[in-house]
Structure 1
């Protein structure tokens, strides 16, 4: 197996495993967070949690596939590690950035729901 093929295999293996691990954590802990954001509507929280996790997997696996190509020549073990660190680092930064954007959005939703509760005395808007 050439060093380039070895780099591809390691990159795919590690990035898919990291994506699966993060996805499991998001599913488990996101359920609790979304249940708080959408107080009183557990079905909505559970459904949205699943949709977000599916989107997470699609975006990340798509990015991993697009980022697979290696431009530089990998000729030794040092090149394998340098290529993997660059590629995995960027994948992790993208996953982290998407996660922070999601958290910010749901924090705003929760904040608005709390304001609505304070103003109307009801956690859900009727109408």
Structure 2
């Protein structure tokens, strides 16, 4: 039973992680671009770094969670266990996304403040 649960869990977790990461990557670019004041090079670099880190962290967390799985002996336990583990992954993904966006917001604000303090270049 555990092997079947692992297969179902990895399929669901992998699918959710890849699709959510792809959506965050494409739609989050505009948000990051706004906070980095149109700096396309920096925005694309940060966006790619966030995507790779997101994949590694979530898939690594999914693999680590296998170690905490109990022995399953019924279909009911299989369904409950897979649903619980997938729910934990989704909550973790939401928290990671929130932290990433808060960090980008704070970096954008810090960059905005430092650009106001610096004197204008003299011709």
State the TM bucket, normalised to the shorter chain. Answer: 0.7 to 0.9
| Aligned match of 2:10 | 12
Give the drift of 1:64: 0.9
| Aligned match of 2:64 | 66
CA distance in 1, matches of 2:70, 2:46: 41
Query: Relative contact order, CA 8 A, sep 6+: which one is greater?
Result: 2
| Mapping for residues 42-121 of structure 1, pairs under 5 Å | 42-116=40-114
CA distance in 1, matches of 2:63, 2:31: 30
TM-score with structure 2 setting the length: 0.86
* Greater helix share, structure number: 2
Q: 2:30 aligns with which of 24, 29, 32?
A: 32
| Aligned match of 1:125 | none
CA distance in 2, matches of 1:121, 1:39: 18
CA distance in 1, matches of 2:76, 2:22: 32
Which piece of structure 1 moves more, 103-112 or 55-64? 103-112
Gaps spanning 5+ residues in structure 1: where? 123-127
